[in-house]
């Protein structure tokens, strides 16, 4: 005998008969149809995972999720070092273009900034030293500060905001346009083709810009010292040469070399890891500038501690 339909609205026929609902085994096809009509997922999807599946599931690793983003820059530096040791091939035309961008085209801003910094150092020193009748020693202060600290740091900060940002924007645009993927498909290493020439160019150019920045900083200090203190040019340059030493210049050159490596690697890394859209280019450029400037200041602090420990 066919079981009677339970009381309820007209659509209640979708439910199984009362006999099925009170313990009888309902056919699987009726159960699946009922769940579809009610908008539920299939029964198999709602069953709890078996013990074997739970046993095979890997445990969560929060330490790895934290360390992986920290190790990516280290891996990137290792790839650059390997490309340099293998003698990565890149076009001389691209290398010359990057050299011009990081060197000759950066001279105007390096000149203005370092000359103003030298003039400011001389002005501040003159205001204080004149009170004690030692205004001539302004030349000593400007020479030592420019050679040891200011020329290297200011030039590196300028290059981080100019050349490092340019590296990041260019490589991020290539990443968004899938040009980096095209190089990989063609069997060309993007690190050797894109990153290595930029790193080498900034390593070569930043020490030269440092030397030029020292000269322009000394000239800016000379302008202020000769006008405010009425010091003769011969006396000013004599004090400058007596204050400078090869230790000061060697420390500044070492800093500029390290700053060049840092700024170039930061710009290239942020560019190659940028997201593939227009906003990602801006974010990569911002990251490159921030990392470059903060890294330069932090690295300068390390150099200062080491120089103090070595009595340089």
DSSP 193: I
83 occurs within a structural domain: no
Considering the domain boundaries, does residue 213 fall inside one?
Answer: yes
Residue 123 in domain: yes
> Rounded to an integer, what distance in angstroms lies between the CA atom of residue 260 and that of residue 254?
10
pTM to 2 decimal places: 0.75
List, for residues 44-85, the tens digit of each pLDDT value.
544 555 555 545 555 556 665 666 767 888 888 888 888 888
Q: Is residue 208 part of a domain?
A: yes
Tell me, yes or no, whether 21 lies in a domain: no
The per-residue pLDDT for 103 is 87
Q: How far apart are alpha carbons 211 and 254 in whole angstroms?
A: 12
Both ends of the chain: CA-CA distance in Å? 106
Q: Is residue 100 part of a domain?
A: yes
Q: What is the CA radius of gyration of the chain?
A: 34
> Which residue range is the domain that position 121 belongs to?
96-309
Cα 59 from Cα 191, distance rounded (Å)? 35
How many domains, in total, are found in the chain?
A: 1
Number of H helices, E strands in the chain: 16, 0
Sort residue 59 into left (φ over 0), alpha (ψ -120 to 50) or beta: beta
Is residue 247 in some structural domain?
Answer: yes
pLDDT given at position 19 = 46
Residues 274 and 268: their CA atoms lie apart, in Å, by 10
Q: In order along the chain (312 residues), what is the average pLDDT of each group of 10 residues?
A: 52 48 48 57 52 54 66 85 80 88 91 93 84 80 91 94 93 90 88 91 94 94 84 85 90 94 94 87 93 94 91 82
On whether residue 191 sits in a domain, the answer given is yes
């Amino acid at each position: 005998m066919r079981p009677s339909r339970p009381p309820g609205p007209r659509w209640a026929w979708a439910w199984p008969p009362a006999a099925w609902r009170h313990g009888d085994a309902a056919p699987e096809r009726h159960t699946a149809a009922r769940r579809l009509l009610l908008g539920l997922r299939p029964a198999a999807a709602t069953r709890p995972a078996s013990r074997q599946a739970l046993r095979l599931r890997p445990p969560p690793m929060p330490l790895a999720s934290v360390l992986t983003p920290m190790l990516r820059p280290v891996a990137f530096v290792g790839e650059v070092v390997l490309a340099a040791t293998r003698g990565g091939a890149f076009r001389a035309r691209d290398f010359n273009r990057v050299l011009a961008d990081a060197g000759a085209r950066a001279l105007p801003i390096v000149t203005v900034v370092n000359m103003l910094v030298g003039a400011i150092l001389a002005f501040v020193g003159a205001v204080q030293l004149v009170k004690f009748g030692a205004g001539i020693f302004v030349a000593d202060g400007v020479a030592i500060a420019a050679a040891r600290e200011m020329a290297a740091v200011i030039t590196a900060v300028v290059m981080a905001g100019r050349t490092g940002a340019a590296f990041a924007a260019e490589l991020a645009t290539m990443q968004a346009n899938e040009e980096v993927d095209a190089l990989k498909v063609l069997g060309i290493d993007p690190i050797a083709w894109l990153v290595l020439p930029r790193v080498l160019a900034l390593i070569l150019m930043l020490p030269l810009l440092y030397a030029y920045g020292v000269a322009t900083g000394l000239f800016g200090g000379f302008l202020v010292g000769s006008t405010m203190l009425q010091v003769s040019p011969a006396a000013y340059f004599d004090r400058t040469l007596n204050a400078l030493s090869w230790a000061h210049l060697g420390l500044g050159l070492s800093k500029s070399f390290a700053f060049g490596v840092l700024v170039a690697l930061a710009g290239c890394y942020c560019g190659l890891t940028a997201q593939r859209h227009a906003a990602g280019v801006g974010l990569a450029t911002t990251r490159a500038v921030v990392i470059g400037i903060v890294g330069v200041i932090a690295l300068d602090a390390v150099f200062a501690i080491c120089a103090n420990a070595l009595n340089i």
